[in-house]
Structure 1
Amino acid sequence: MSFRMVRYLVSTLIATGALSAVSPAAFAEEKSYTVNAPDGVALAVQESGNPDGPAVVLIHGLLGSRLNWDAQVKSARLKGYRLITYDMRGHGRSGKPTNADAYTDGRRWADDLATVIETSHARKPVLVGWSLGGAVISNYLAAYGDGKIAGAVYVDGVIELTPEQIVAHPDVYRDMTSADLKTHLDGERTFLSLCFDTQPDKVTFERLLANAAMASWDMQAAVQSMSVAAADGLGQAHVPVLLIYGARDALVKAQPAIARARQINPNLRSVLYAKSGHAPFIEEPKRFDNDLGAFVDSVSNK
């Protein structure tokens, strides 16, 4: 079809009102760019959805990248929002420093998130952190406060790295940092499997496994000692906070984590997905997208 014909058809549809019900978000193009954290680490950032809609920053977990949020980026329910994803340090297409303190210092992860918010010019975004991403939100709140955000969602988020809240898998974490390549990759495969009670389809799992293999070995060894300022961060948040956890989580102990978070911040709200494991946004995407959309709407209208 020629460009002239396409232009004619679009003009005709506009004239007849056939496009009047279509959201501008339907025409938004994805864009990718790179920003630099204060310590020089390059961060790969991506945007999709409606550039004029409420901003949502989606923060993945350990061994992930923006690809973890693929269902949300493609979700019809969330197309009206400005969805901002980024690959955290040591992951995906972002920089992978080799020094341990680049990962153990929780402030650096907080600075990364602050840099993404500032350089994207996101106005009062909702922060959504999965697993390790929850710890990043807490560290951000401790360092920067909640004045520039509208709310926060912890998705099976790490509240604190304690035995009371984290399921012990010493063999898995040992294998993930093994110098032997086969052992390392097998450890990552096992870790990824533990993320789901209902396993994703083969293509999705293989893509996420390849995604995991891109993660820095240095990061995987160091991040287990990452500082998490839960009391100073989550505990000081005055904006609305929602916790979404899978009841069948094999990595984070859902009930103890929720109980501890509520002890730190009694005003938060929690939802437990009875049929999900560690990744409810992948295991029950429609329900998750509806819950996230409702939360964003509620805080964006204030």
Structure 2
Amino acid sequence: MQQLGSLKVLITFFLFFLSTVIFADDKNYSVLSSDGVKIAIQEKGNPQGQPLIFIHGLLGSHLNWEKQMNDHMLKKYRLITFDLRGHGVSDKPDNEKSYLDGQLWADDLNAVIQKSRAERPILVGWSLGGAVITNYLAKYSDRDIRGAVYVGGVVELTAEQIPAHPNVYHDMTAEDLKTHLDGENAFLRLCFYTQPDIATFERLISAAALANFTMQKAVPNMSIQLEQGLKNTRVPILFINGQYDALVNHETSVKRAFSINPKIKFEIFKNSGHAPFYEESDLFNQTLDRFVKKS
């Protein structure tokens, strides 16, 4: 019995030591994209694990993914986030040409993959992040990735796929500051079927206030090379959408994507709006974990 007790102590110490080695401190670094824009990158989790690269949406930041970064089950993976151009702590060029060409956003993602040396990562893109994935696939193909997950992903910026909220989108690009900020507030509210707690929403508002104004005006006209991106993609692709998404018409969007690549898989989260990774984070993390294991 004494030997068994000693063995348990030794195993406990070994597991503790192993965890301190495997799960390194958080990392923050940056990379220059093709046009010189600095992209801020962050890492958590297991440096030796399968890389997952998370791409946030319009007005967001890498902080959108906190429920994934802090999930015990996902910490076995190498968790990489970054701030899109015009957002967070990445550079915010103040000219429309830096945002209209979707290939520049694709270059940002490629720069993150190359700088991080992420070997065949799985891409996870929320909302606008889905369009970034599509443009990446169009320019760089799927040769360097293992799979992709679109979360409330923007497929195309068309009236059929993006529900009309004329007052909200008009106010978001208004020159009057109060109107502009109120528009951003309304837009963020539309992201959720179940509204986040006050502290989280205040953080979302703060991140939105950091987003470049010129970028917000340009993004609705950003190019998305849908057919080039999806037609020849052979890695697994999963679309996850919330039943009550107010910002993306998931039925029309997924149908359009499926018409180009019929191998796409689709899951609907019945208690979510536009942000199922937040609103049903446990289910989302489990679904992502299964996708990684099957890819």
TM-score range, shorter chain: over 0.9
Q: More deviation in 234-243 or 276-285?
A: 234-243
Deviation at 1:15, TM superposition (A): 6.4
Please name the residue that 1:110 is paired with.
106
- The DSSP-based 3-state class of the residue aligned with 1:16 is helix
Please name the residue that 1:294 is paired with.
290
- The DSSP-based 3-state class of the residue aligned with 1:236 is coil
Question: Where do residues 222-261 of structure 1 align in structure 2 (5 Å cutoff)?
Answer: 222-261=218-257
- RMSD (Å), alpha carbons: 1.5
Question: Where do residues 119-134 of structure 1 align in structure 2 (5 Å cutoff)?
Answer: 119-134=115-130
Deviations 1:195-237 (A, max 9, x none): 0000011111111111111100000000110000111102221
User: Residue 72 of structure 1: which of 68, 75, 78 is its match?
Assistant: 68
- The DSSP-based 3-state class of the residue aligned with 2:183 is helix
* Structure 1 length-normalised TM: 0.93
Distance across 2 between alignment mates of 1:278 and 1:186: 19
Deviations 1:74-125 (A, max 9, x none): 0111000001100000000000111101101000000000000001000000
Distance across 2 between alignment mates of 1:227 and 1:84: 25
Question: Where do residues 39-50 of structure 1 align in structure 2 (5 Å cutoff)?
Answer: 39-50=35-46
User: Residue 156 of structure 1: which of 127, 152, 157 is its match?
Assistant: 152
Question: Where do residues 44-193 of structure 1 align in structure 2 (5 Å cutoff)?
Answer: 44-193=40-189
* Structure 2 length-normalised TM: 0.95
Give percent identity, aligned residues only.
54
- The DSSP-based 3-state class of the residue aligned with 2:136 is helix
| Contact 2:46–2:76 (8 Å) recurs in 1 | yes
Give the aligned length.
288
| Contact 2:23–2:47 (8 Å) recurs in 1 | no
| Contact 2:156–2:224 (8 Å) recurs in 1 | yes
Deviation at 1:21, TM superposition (A): 4.5
Distance across 2 between alignment mates of 1:134 and 1:104: 16
Structure 2: gaps of 5 or more residues: 1-5
Deviation at 1:19, TM superposition (A): 3.8
Please name the residue that 2:3 is paired with.
none
| Contact 1:24–1:50 (8 Å) recurs in 2 | no
Please name the residue that 2:216 is paired with.
220
| Contact 1:41–1:97 (8 Å) recurs in 2 | yes
Deviations 1:37-61 (A, max 9, x none): 0100010100000000000000000
Q: More deviation in 141-150 or 179-188?
A: 179-188
Structure 1: gaps of 5 or more residues: 1-11
Question: Where do residues 203-218 of structure 1 align in structure 2 (5 Å cutoff)?
Answer: 203-218=199-214
Q: Quick one: structure 1 residues 86 and 152, their matched pair in 2 at CA, closer, same or farther if it must change by over 3 Å?
A: same
Q: Quick one: structure 1 residues 111 and 18, their matched pair in 2 at CA, closer, same or farther if it must change by over 3 Å?
A: same
